[in-house]
Structure formats: C-alpha cells, structure tokens
A = this chain, B = another copy of it.
Amino acid sequence: MTLSNISIDGKRLLADLTKLREFGTYKTGVHRPTYSKIDMESRHWICERMREAGLTPEIDGVGNVIGRGEGDGPRVLLGSHTETQPYAGWLDGALGVMYGLEVARAVGHGVDVVSWADEEGHYSSFPGSRSYIGQFSEADIDAGRNKYDGISMRDALAAAGLAGRPRIAHQPGRYLGYLEAHIEQGDTLESTGEKIGIVTSIVGIWAYRIAFEGVQNHAGTTRMAIRKDAGLAAVKLIAAIDALFPTICAERTVWTVGRITLDPGAGSIIPGGAEVMFQIRDADPDVLLKLQNALETLVAEANLGPCRATLHNVSRSTPSLMDPEFQNALERAAERYAPGLHQRMPSGAGHDAQWLARVMPSAMLFVPSIGGISHHWSEDTSDEDIVLGCQVMAAAVAEILGR
C-alpha cells in the first residue's frame, strides 16, 4: 500500500463553501429549503463548478445533482446534500458535496460527485438517495408533502422546473463505492481534541408515538382523587424512562422526547388526551430491542394507573454498517495527516450513506463541530479542520482508486 501525495487546495475549497453559503445566507448560517428558488439556484451553481472540474453535471427528476466523468477505470462516488434545515448551518451536508468537488479536482479521473436531494426531509425521507438506489417510487413522490407548508412534492418539483425529468438510477458496477464527509454534529471529537471521525455504522432510529387517554374535565371542580389526567400520565412515563434507561442503555445510546401534546391544551382543562413523540438511537439492534422491551414494560405499568397508554411504532430503521476496507483507508489517511487525532465512531444521525450502503461499499468521515452544534445557524467548524478533513478524504480516495 503506497500513500499518494495528492494535495487538495484548501483555499479553493473554503472559497467554494463560502460562495455556497451566499445562497440563502441567514446570520452566519443558511436558510435553503429543498426545491426553493435559492436551493435550485445553488444546484445550478454546483453544476457549473462540476463542469469546471471536468464532470458532466445533471439535475435529475428528484433534484439530485450528479456530476459524472468520462472514461474507464476504477471510480468512486463522493457527495452529500446541499439543502438545509430551516435557518440552519452553512456546513452540514454542503461540506461533503464541496469535499467531493475538491477531491475530484485534486485526484482527477475516477471521482464522480453528487448532491442528494432533500436529505433534510422537507418533503420525504431521503428521497434523493433512495431514488438513486431504486427505493423511491413515483407513488412516493405523489405522497411527498412539505412538512412546513403542506405543498405537494409534485408541485414543488414542477415549480423547480424538474417535472418530467428522468431520475438517475444506480448502475451496478460503475463505482467501487460511495464516500461521504459530514460535520460530526456532536461534540465527541471536540471533547477529545481529535480531528477526524471514521464512521463505523449509522445508528438505527426507532421512533414511537405514545398516546394517553384519560378524561377531559374542569380543572377547578374535579377533585384530584378522581382525575384521569392524560398529561400527568405522560409526564410520569417520561420520568420513568429517564430513571430506567441510563441503567440499561449502551455507551452511545441516545433517546429523546421531541414533542409532548396535551389535548385540549388549555390552562383550565384537565387534559383528556396526551401524545408523546419518543425515539431511541443506537448502532446495535440488540440494544434497540432491549430498550424497546423496557419501554413496553413501562407502558404496561402506566396502564395500571387511571389512564390508558398505548405504544405505536412510527419507524424502525436498521443500523447501517460502513465498509471495513473503506474505514481502513480513511484511517490510514487520517493517521498520515492527523496522527493520533482520529477515532472510529458511530454516526448518531441518519445520512444518505445509509441508503448507498445497500448497493455498494460506503463510508463516512466526520470533522469536528464547534460546541457540537448543528441544525442551527451558529453551526461551524474551524477552517483548519475543514481543510484537514478534505485532505484526509482525498488521500483515502486516492488509495481506494489505486493512485
């Protein structure tokens, strides 16, 4: 195994990222919702950059931007996504797409670049990467709806000028694999002072809706002893989860109550209904199953109280393993450019790579997030860390391509 001496151009990379930030600037971050006017302008700008890098760009029928090179020989696909969460950070997926562009320029032949559409899920769940691997049907497009304004995905695609365009599908055999860089979005690297995370797996997310049914009544005239307060039942269950889960979880397990809704939600009415959105994430399916069993027990115990509690599974994604050989290549490159300052780690967030991994070897590289902040306009990574991460990616890609 020889290590190539390919070098990226850090200034050029930072200039591209800074230019991309101008599409929808919000404070020091970006507001660039999928298929919005500014999002489409940014996709056309990416096409120009791809063309300059010697790639033939195409925006397909679901909004994926793919820049492909000509000729034979081993080839990899690099990328991520460029739309953002509302009023969110400038790096997030943009970093991985601009890394792809810079690596294509630095490594040359053999690197295709992609910006997957709507990884942030404005209209659906990973429509871009799922479309590419053949797991997003026309019916899925029909069903897509913007979660903020309710606009249908079809209408949004038409307004973006994409109606009727073909969708690009994976060609088996074209690529050795897929590599995606991303900011960590957590503080693990920052807290250890490390610079590169080599992703071992992308966690499974098991999400639940927990519904509570009590009896709505007057908050002044109903004695405490006879109340069937659905909101209180919900609070007690969440408190029980908070007490139990730390004693049975794995090292990196996380769980979150993202929403609590009381019905009707008025100050002087005892809630007759309550709903809790809850999710668990772990890279190990056995851990997920163990926690789900514990959750089921807690819900059963809640049913011994005055309200009825029911557990509904909303989604259950399988943890996705990253390719071991790609991980090794990334680790060798990391050790060369950031000796001792890298670690293998699971990804707590979902990424397009989890879908690409179903059709080809896939891997991910993380760079540090300042303060662990993401999905907020203040999200940032130091210039040095941005450049270092791209150099590591370029070196790994060069090794994979046999340069």
Q: How far is the CA of A235 from the CA of B231 in the complex (A)?
A: 10
A397 neighbours in B (Cβ, 8 Å): none
Q: How far is the CA of A216 from the CA of B185 in the complex (A)?
A: 12
Interface bits A206-226 vs B (CB < 8 Å: 1, else 0): 010000000011111111101
Min CB–CB distance A300 → chain B (angstroms): 19
Contact in complex: B216, A376 (CB < 8 Å): yes
Contact in complex: A218, B185 (CB < 8 Å): yes
Min CB–CB distance A233 → chain B (angstroms): 11
A interface size (C-beta, 8 A): 60
Contact in complex: A205, B226 (CB < 8 Å): no
Q: How far is the CA of A163 from the CA of B222 in the complex (A)?
A: 38
Min CB–CB distance A351 → chain B (angstroms): 10
Q: How far is the CA of A301 from the CA of B224 in the complex (A)?
A: 25
A229 neighbours in B (Cβ, 8 Å): 256-257
A265 neighbours in B (Cβ, 8 Å): 258-259
Q: How far is the CA of A268 from the CA of B281 in the complex (A)?
A: 10
A253 neighbours in B (Cβ, 8 Å): 224
Min CB–CB distance A176 → chain B (angstroms): 28
Which of A49-57, A138-146, A236-244 is the interface stretch? A236-244
A267 lies within 8 A of chain B by Cβ: yes
Partner of A235, one of B257, B268, B375: B257
A277 neighbours in B (Cβ, 8 Å): 266-267
A3 neighbours in B (Cβ, 8 Å): none
A216 neighbours in B (Cβ, 8 Å): 375-376
Partner of A257, one of B232, B242, B254, B376: B232
Contact in complex: B271, A226 (CB < 8 Å): no
A262 lies within 8 A of chain B by Cβ: yes
Sampled A-B contacts (8; CB under 8 Å):
A185-B218, A218-B375, A219-B254, A222-B254, A236-B239, A256-B267, A257-B271, A259-B266
Residues of A within 8 A of B (CB): 184-188, 203, 205, 207, 216-224, 226, 229, 231-232, 235-236, 238-239, 242, 246, 249, 252-262, 265-271, 277, 279, 281, 314, 347-350, 369, 372-376
